[in-house]
C-alpha cells in the first residue's frame, strides 16, 4: 500500500486522523500529514476507510 495526499485539496476535516491515527496527523494549519506512507498490512483497512471518508478527496490509496 502506498498513500499520497494533496494538501492543496485538504479542508482539515480530520476524518483521516480519526480513522487511522497511526498513519495520519494534521499540521498546525489543520492539513493532513502522512506519518507512515507505507503502513503495515494490519492498517490497510483503516487507511482505505480514511481515504473513502475524506470529504475533499485529498487522500489517494494505492495497493501495491
Residues 6+ apart with CB under 8 A from 24: 16, 17, 32, 33, 34, 35, 50, 59
> How does pLDDT run across 3-62, given as a tens digit for each residue?
999 999 999 999 999 999 999 999 999 999 999 999 999 999 999 999 999 999 999 999
Q: Please tell me the pTM assigned to this model.
A: 0.92
* HEC readout, the chain: CEEEECCCCCCCCCHHHHHCCCCEEECCCCCEEECCCCCCHHHHHHHHHHHHHCCCCCEEEECC
Q: What is the pLDDT of residue 39?
A: 95
CATH class for the domain made up of 2-51: alpha beta
Q: What is the pLDDT of residue 64?
A: 79
For the chain, domain boundaries: 2-51
Amino acid at each position: 500500500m502506498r498513500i499520497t495526499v494533496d494538501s492543496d485539496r485538504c479542508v482539515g476535516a480530520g476524518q483521516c486522523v480519526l480513522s487511522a491515527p497511526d498513519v495520519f496527523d494534521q499540521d498546525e494549519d489543520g492539513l493532513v500529514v502522512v506519518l507512515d506512507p507505507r503502513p503495515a498490512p494490519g492498517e490497510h483497512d483503516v487507511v482505505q476507510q480514511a481515504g473513502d471518508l475524506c470529504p475533499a478527496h485529498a487522500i489517494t490509496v494505492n495497493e501495491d
